[in-house]
Amino acid sequence: MWSRPFVRARKPVGDCEQMRLSPTARIARSSHRHRNLHSLLVRAAVGFSKTSTVPKDLVTPKATPKVSQVQWTAPLKIVHYPDPRLRAINATISVFDESLLALAKDMIRVMYEDDGVGLAAPQVGVNVRLMVFNPYGRERPGKESILVNPEVVAVGGGRWTDQEGCLSFPGLQSPVERYRDVVVKAQDEKGQTVSLKLGGTDDAGMWLSRIFQHEYDHLQGILFHDRMRPAALAPIRPGLVELEERFAAAHPGVKIQRVGEPPAPAKASKGF
Any idea which residues carry the catalytic annotation? 215
Mode of pairing for the β-strands spanning 145-165 and 39-44? unpaired
Mode of pairing for the β-strands spanning 118-120 and 130-133? antiparallel
Residue 36: Cβ within 10 Å count: 11
Q: Exposure pattern of 23-35 as b/e (b: 16+ CB <10 Å)?
A: ebbeeeeeeeeee
CB distance 115 to 149 below 8 Å: no
Q: Exposure pattern of 173-204 as b/e (b: 16+ CB <10 Å)?
A: bbbbebbbbbbbbbbbbeeeebebbbbbbbbb
- Look at the alpha carbons of 262, 265, 269, 272 in this order and tell me if their dihedral is positive or negative: negative
